[in-house]
Amino acid sequence: MTHNFDEIIPRRNTDSVKWDLAGPDVLPMWVADMDFRSPPCVVKALEKRAQQGVFGYPLTPAAFYEAIQGWWQRHHGFSLEKDWIVPVPSILTALSTVIQTFAKPGEKVLLQSPGYNHFFMAIEDSGCEVVANDLMHDNGRYSIDFDDLEQKASDPDVKVFLLCSPHNPVGRVWTREELLRMGEICNRHNVLVIADEIHSDLVFEDFYHVPFASLGPDFQSKSITCSSTSKTFNMAGLQVAYLISVNPDLKKQIEHTLHAQGQLFLSPFATDALIAAYNEGEAWMQELKTYLFENYLFLREFVAQHLPFFKVTPLEATYLVWIDVSALKKSSKDISNALLKEQQLWINPGTMYGANGEGFMRINIACPRVLLADGLERLKKYLG
């Protein structure tokens, strides 16, 4: 390995959400942000831009689109056209924009629960109603209740389905068959699919990501995909993401909403960082994935040895591990509050991701192994 992911980079007092919202002794393993430096190519690109010292209104260069096209072709075997891509500052901007474009206040948006907490907020903040298709949990593995999805999608007030692929927080990589079935249901009921594929690069061996838009023309014309470099290369603070809309009519409507919001261009730092990451960050990402998976194995081994009454959900993608702590017979909120108070460990309660997240905790393992070991020891101490 050429990159040293074991290096501890002090992040306290750096205006970090993850570290500076936590108290001085708190070990934060909550928000999806890694304690690793972005790849050197990204840092170099930012330095080069800073050295020029002129920060006037930027254009989004052809290289931005080419970097995205190249990445998707190499990593997901999917050919994108430049005209399908719309730059946006973040996935959350993209989600809210798409919801507000295609669902009116009072109308409904489907999601799968447990689900990323900001999905709920983006829907409710847009004045829409959340409709949850609860995932089924069987023997530690999550699957989709297609009958329930069909029944909910058939409500004429449901306009959009917010799909998380791969899934945060349950760590599933949806198979082609699952994606096809979900897509067919949505098409049958005229529900637009927003595929949030922000976690699509951090997929582990034996699993592979199928882009929703690669399923075929019927699925392309009734879906919007969102992705970014922010999880893969740890650059959420740089605010760069993009939408993919194969259907020009949908794209036009989205661009109209973006313009109405005053979202006209990306920061040149954001643009340069994405170009560098996608064009030169491949080897770094492969090493990162190896390190993350070793962290996952470390956690699994620790739990098996010291906390055998917990069940670790198999991690197919992401660095967010979903642990069944129901054996403690306490609410996940109470556990997370007690961990924070007694052990200064911040991990998220499962109910942050929907009511059926009760009995689970989500732990972010994207940190040097020593910090992970520290977090796990705190968990063990809490249990006495």
Binding site for ligand PLP (CB under 6 A): 32, 90-92, 116, 164, 168, 196, 198, 228, 230, 236, 241
Quick one: 114 or 183, whose CB is closer to ligand PLP?
114
How much is the CA Rg of the chain, to the nearest whole Å?
Answer: 21
Q: Which residue has the tokens 């911040």?
A: 346
Tell me whether strands 311-312 and 348-349 are parallel, antiparallel or unpaired. unpaired
Shortest Cβ 237–ligand PLP spacing (Å):
9
Quick one: 60 or 221, whose CB is closer to ligand PLP?
60
N-terminal to C-terminal alpha carbon distance within the chain: 37
Shortest Cβ 204–ligand PLP spacing (Å):
17
Quick one: 109 or 236, whose CB is closer to ligand PLP?
236
Cα 227 from Cα 75, distance rounded (Å): 13
Quick one: 103 or 198, whose CB is closer to ligand PLP?
198
Cα 4 from Cα 287, distance rounded (Å): 9
Cα 264 from Cα 70, distance rounded (Å): 24
Q: Show the beta-strand stretches assigned E in 268-325.
A: 311-312, 320-324
- DSSP count for the chain of H helices, then E strands: 13, 15
Shortest Cβ 213–ligand PLP spacing (Å):
17
Element of type H or E holding 117: helix 117-125
Shortest Cβ 120–ligand PLP spacing (Å):
12
> The tokens of 379 are what?
């968990």
Q: Show the beta-strand stretches assigned E in the chain.
A: 27-28, 85-88, 108-113, 129-134, 136-138, 141-143, 158-164, 192-196, 223-228, 241-244, 311-312, 320-324, 345-346, 348-349, 360-364
Quick one: 107 or 196, whose CB is closer to ligand PLP?
196
Quick one: 167 or 378, whose CB is closer to ligand PLP?
167
Quick one: 53 or 262, whose CB is closer to ligand PLP?
262
Shortest Cβ 225–ligand PLP spacing (Å):
12
Q: Which residue has the tokens 């990445």?
A: 71
Shortest Cβ 367–ligand PLP spacing (Å):
15
Shortest Cβ 166–ligand PLP spacing (Å):
9
